[in-house]
Amino acid sequence: MDADVVVIGAGIVGVSVGIHLAQRGRRVVVIDRRLPGEETSHGNAGLIERASVVPYAFPRELLAIARYATNRQTAMRYDARSMPSFAPWLFRYWRESAPARLARASTDMLPLIANSVVEHDKLIELAGLGTLVKPDGWIEGYRTEAALARRLNVCGLLARQHGLAMVALDRRGMEKTEPGLRPGIVGGIHWTDPRSVTDPGRLTQGYARLLESMGGRVLLGTVSALHQRAEGWQVGVDGGEMFAREVVVAQGPWSTQFIAPLGYRIPLLAKRGYHMHYHAETDIAQRFPIADAEVGYVVAPMQRGLRLTTGVELTNPSRPPTTIQLDRAERHAKTIFGLGRRLDDAAWMGHRPCTPDMRPVIGPAPRHAGLWFAFGHNHHGLTLGPVTGRLLAEMMTGEKPFTDPTPYRPARFG
């Protein structure tokens, strides 16, 4: 055998799985066509999101649905020509977002969310990456007093139920917390439990180096096929072959291309997102990532500059990138956040791998021994990478899992 375990995918999830398996004595090889942290793990808003105890759901209010249907919103846009390709998935997502189903999804996700910061902290300390991570969370900002008041009623209850730390900011509190902001945000909610990462790609790269220091290998290569053999798995890589007793598919939105030939039809939709970095034209540096909650974008201080990340774009994967969402968000954000010149030659585009029931796919393949899945983390891949690695490694090595993995089982999709 070339390895005990081959992990396909060198994003935050795949690398974290590799670390936890290496800690348990497994010989691990992580393979990806890109270097660690160059895909979705690189381009997000950099939040380790302990406060997101309720998954991002499909809107149920008719007025909200009508607004999105106009296709003029910043938070979400869709390509009408691609609608037939994702309409069935969207219907399932809408159904799973009903209040009772959403409450069950929140309960199921809570053990992963609640342990996300703790598991990251362990790896950050081992890898010596503390300079990339800042404590004290992020701010959910609002443009109107009415919207802020409605949100505070909801968040106060969530904070009490789940022991979350939050600070309500009125206009004066917002000015004191972020004195560099220009007029436009009248207040907000400061969630202080999460962490913010000033370079998510470098964090994933640092985790990859940690894996290599434990004896794991990280290889650059394109996996072309998986074949089950009596003694394990044959993995086709760049015209050659590797053999391993077990395989973990952790390739994010591209995971289904490896498992579809084996008969698995997991409903995974890749929601697109974009980002751009800007020079800050403010005298006082922004301290925290801030979400413009009523419009639908995030501005986060990163090592490269201020990173503007967009909401969701729904389209067929074959469609070319578009700057529509980024341009919309930039118009809203430019004056408030002091966005200066663009620092990137082109907008970055990434893909968020999402399931319609808002739960990741973590666990054993139902019909193939030695095949494991770890993908579909919706909007929280960075947040859930290390905790996913721990849970899957516990299952693979026969340990008692720290939480019941049943809600995330691949078999729920058949």
Q: What is the DSSP letter of 321?
A: P
pLDDT at 390 (0 to 100): 98
Domain contains 341: no
The pTM for the full model equals 0.96
Gap between the terminal Cα atoms of the chain: 30
Tell me how many degrees the CA angle 256-259-265 measures, rounded to the nearest 5: 65
How does pLDDT run across 25-71, given as a tens digit for each residue? 999 999 999 999 998 889 999 999 999 999 999 999 999 999 999 99
Domain contains 145: no
CA neighbours closer than 13 Å in the CB half-sphere of residue 59: 11
Domain contains 91: no
Domain that holds residue 8: 3-41+201-267+356-413
pLDDT at 40 (0 to 100): 87
* DSSP line for 244-273: EEEEEE--GGGTHHHHGGGT-----EEEEE
- Residue 208 belongs to domain with CATH number: 3.50.50.60
pLDDT at 182 (0 to 100): 95
Domain contains 400: yes
Residues of the chain with pLDDT under 50: none
Domain contains 372: yes
Phi-psi group of 376: left, alpha or beta (phi > 0 → left; psi -120 to 50 → alpha; rest → beta): left
Number of domains in the chain: 1
Domain contains 15: yes
The amino acid at residue 291 is A
Q: What is the DSSP letter of 74?
A: S
pLDDT at 376 (0 to 100): 98
pLDDT at 1 (0 to 100): 77
CA neighbours closer than 13 Å in the CB half-sphere of residue 406: 3
Domain contains 169: no
CA distance 267 to 289: 32
Instruction: Report the run of H or E that residue 104 belongs to, with start and end.
Output: helix 99-114
Tell me how many degrees the CA angle 223-249-195 measures, rounded to the nearest 5: 120
Domain contains 66: no
Give the closest residue to 13 by CA, choosing from 376, 394, 399: 376
